[in-house]
Structure 1
Amino acid sequence: MTDQRRPVLAAAEQAGDALDLFGRVSARLRRLMPFHSAVWTATDPETGLITAPMLVENLGSGEDCAAYWHSELLEENVLPFRDLARAAVPAAGLRAATGDLPARSSRFRRLLRDQGVHDELRAVFRIGDRPWGLVSLFRVTDAFRARETALLADLSRPLAERLRALARPPASARGTDSPAPGLVLFDESGQAMSANDEARHLLARLPDGPSFPTALGLRLPIWVIGTAFQARAVAAGRDRGGARVRIRTTEGRWLTCHASCLTGQGGSPGPVALVIEPATPGDLAVLVAEAYGLTPRELQITQLTARGMTTAEIATALFISPHTVRDHLKTIFAKAGVSSRGALVARLFTDHYWPALPEPTSVRRTGQPPARARIVQRPRERLPDG
């Protein structure tokens, strides 16, 4: 670890939640590479869309924030986050990327220049292809240097790992008391034109952050607006990603916000319908798997373990060796911080209210011919430790 990274990561380790992490890291990083203002935000690791929390330092209003993300998703820009998330280096400066011609970016022409910004340095905090957070740093005097970009790139994975750990749902997060999904409709210009009572109920439970006033007398958080922008971007062919994001409420519960662009007259893009509702067990399953860093195979083995299947039965069901199953279980135990199968199931399924266990898996006992394969089901309450 470089000497410069050490104090930044030490500050991140002291954080109690993602917002605290952003504040601590920003303060420490500013001593190493001065900047005038910044935007730090968590992202949904599946879609890369912004979610709570977001820390905005020394920038404009919620309207400015909405304009920034509108430009990010719907206009031609240099270094969009969606491209940076897949780039070989997850950090880049605007002036360096444009040959000192930042006006090549719509974001700079329409927003940053009028705010006196001279250069922007942005990064994606990612693990593999999974983004856990984003940052934009702004300077009003000189450009960011190559060594500063390299430092931010070096921080990408360790900060993503810390954000991933902080994203683990608390054991008490069982859901919300909303009786039905909330619905918000946006017109073709992106203005909210109607919302039901359920939407107001759920929106009131979202954490504080940049928000945008509407004619409905309702302030919409930037994460909700960003999801609606993404639906329009997908409809316009600008992105193939999903317009879906999970947001943690002030009670620690999780909501899912997803949007789609309706078809207007002549097949043109019409209004956007946005639904916000309690996260389904499936949403939480994926989130918890991501938060603990489980691979798809590890998640599969964890689910079969929770069914009470033995190592040999799991190996048969997945067409792998018992030795491979045991190696996977050791890795899973280490990631979840447990030492037994029973503790694993309690940690991941009971604590986080994962969905009902998967459908019965067809397995073949050793020595049985294929024609006599049968369904093996174990009682859910059986949690073997061996």
Structure 2
Amino acid sequence: MATEVESLRRALVAEGQTVRTVGELGALVSHRVGLFIPHDGYLLTGLDPLTRAAGFYAKEHFYGAQAAQRLYAERPDIDPFPCPFASLLDGPRRVGVLNADSPEHRRSERLHDVMAGEGFGCELRVALTHGGLPWGLLTLLRTTGSRPFTAEEEARAERLAGPLATALKVFGRGLCAGPNRHAAEPGVVVVGPDDTVRMTPTAVDWLAELNPHPLATAQALGTTVWTVVWMARYSGAPAVSRIPTPGGWVAVQAQLLGAEGGDEVVVTIRPASGAGLLPTFAAWHDITRRERAVAALLLEGLPAKRIARRLGMSPHTVNDHLKAVYRKTGVSGRDELVAVLLAGVAGAW
């Protein structure tokens, strides 16, 4: 198995250099993983590592939108559900299998009904973590009548999770390597308690950019937006995902409309920048706590000497930290870093 893991790692490094879109990344991962774990469909999701909300994703031969919405709106309080993603991200095991025909899984009517209705009989879930942070999720499907995923394949998936997490992380920080080019006005989506959707024209444009697959209707939402809607509903607190895209960082934030609105949720989609983006940006680029503190003051417009006084460092140490940030993020210097993080957007989060 060690040879298989190393083989996958080398392939992802070599072939990943040519990947330019999320769809290409998904196809690459599905092909390489399929050599060890055959499957009929997949969903690869990149996460905001700090909030765990979905960001970019790719899929092929997967559940339909309504089925996925029902299946992944996990509510253990009303429907006992095996292998919730949260338990895989936090628990000792990173892999879980759902089998619609398994006696232990028949307690969940939702699982049985959705999988059977969509023509699938078995699902393998892999939590992709690296460095103590969640970077993504990989879901593999087998159609009804196919053999279930075996214990040996679960063990393989467990060992492949690390290289896959690394691939996601490398892809995500390469996806958004330059200044934010988004000039669109924020988009607003209102999701009713019955999941009816209303949105502004600008939201339609934003959704078209965030979804790698054509949406069925102008009122449809993709995985990214549904995730923050569910999180806001079930936590009662605002939920946000900061997503790297070829045009720059995008923030998708959802919050309950208010006590009288029940489960009505308002979602805002806009360019992400400023101090609110810095923690997520730092995680993607392996920026240390001290380097992040220096970068935060840089965004406030402070020169190196004032940053040094504020943080109790020497100017030489501040410059060393800045050089490390420039190297890790691939920018040429102060102006380009500020352009990447601020993008001239007023009132940024």
TM-score bracket, shorter-length normalisation: 0.7 to 0.9
> How far is 1:291 from its partner?
1.6
1:115 aligns with 2:118: yes
d(CA) in 2 for partners of 1:198 and 1:260? 19
Aligned equivalent of 1:63? 66
CA drift of 1:303 comes to 4.3
Name the CA distance, whole Å, in 2 between partners of 1:88 and 1:203. 35
TM superposition shift of 1:71:
4.5
Instruction: Please show how residues 1-386 of structure 1 align to structure 2 within 5 Å.
Output: 2-13=2-13, 14-15=15-16, 16-17=19-20, 18-52=22-56, 54-71=57-74, 75-94=79-98, 101-139=104-142, 140=144, 141-168=146-173, 170-179=176-185, 181-192=186-197, 194-209=198-213, 211=215, 213=217, 217-235=218-236, 242-248=238-244, 252-265=247-260, 269-303=262-296, 307-309=302-304, 314=308, 317-318=310-311, 335-336=328-329, 343=332, 345=334, 348-350=337-339, 352-354=340-342
Tell me the SS of whatever aligns to 1:198: helix
Per the alignment, residue 347 of structure 2 pairs with none
Quick one: structure 1 residues 50 and 212, their matched pair in 2 at CA, closer, same or farther if it must change by over 3 Å?
farther
Q: How many residue pairs were aligned?
A: 334
The answer to whether the 8 A contact 1:123-1:136 is kept is yes
Amino acid aligned to 2:45: T
Change (3 A) 1:81 1:245: same
- Please give the secondary structure, in 2, of the residue aligned with 1:185: strand
User: Whose relative contact order is higher, 1 or 2, with alpha carbons under 8 Å and at least 6 apart?
Assistant: 2
Residue 325 of structure 1 and its aligned partner are, at CA, apart by 7.5
Residue 200 of structure 1 deviates from its aligned partner by: 2.8
In the alignment, structure 2 segments of 5+ residues that lack a partner are: 345-349
2: CA distance between counterparts of 1:201 and 1:31?
Answer: 37
Indicate conservation of the 8 Å contact 2:326/2:337, yes or no.
no
8 Å contact kept, 1:336–1:344 = no
Q: For 2:110 and 2:268, how far apart are their aligned partners in 1?
A: 28
Deviation at 1:34, TM superposition (A): 1.5
Paired residues of 2:53 and 2:241 also in contact (CA < 8 A) = yes
Q: 1:258, 1:275 within 8 Å by CA — same for their partners in 2?
A: yes
Contact 1:176 1:253 (C-alpha < 8 Å) held by counterparts: yes
In structure 2, C-alpha distance between the alignment counterparts of 1:195 and 1:313, rounded to whole Å: 43
8 A contact 2:49–2:135 mirrored in 1: yes
Contact 1:63 1:212 in 2 (8 A): no
- Distance of 1:201 and 1:37 partners within structure 2: 28
The DSSP-based 3-state class of the residue aligned with 1:205 is helix
**Identity score, percent:** 26
Q: Which secondary structure state, in structure 2, belongs to the residue aligned with residue 286 of structure 1?
A: helix
Q: What is the CA-CA distance between 1:292 and the residue it aligns to?
A: 0.7
Shift of residue 135, structure 1, vs aligned partner = 1.0
Could you list the runs of 5+ residues in structure 1 that have no partner in the other structure? Answer: 357-386
Which TM-score applies when normalising by structure 1? 0.73
CA RMSD of aligned residues (A): 3.6
Output the amino acid matched with 2:341.
Y
Separation (CA, whole Å) in 2 of partners of 1:148 and 1:4: 12
Give me the whole-angstrom Cα distance separating, in 2, the residues matched to 1:272 and 1:175: 28
Gap change, CA 1:8 and 1:347, over 3 Å in 2:
farther
The answer to whether the 8 A contact 2:229-2:255 is kept is yes
| C-alpha contact 1:285 1:355 (8 A) present in aligned 2 | no
Cα shift at 1:120: 1.8
Instruction: Label 1:333 to 1:152 Cα distance change in 2 as closer, same or farther (>3 A).
Output: farther
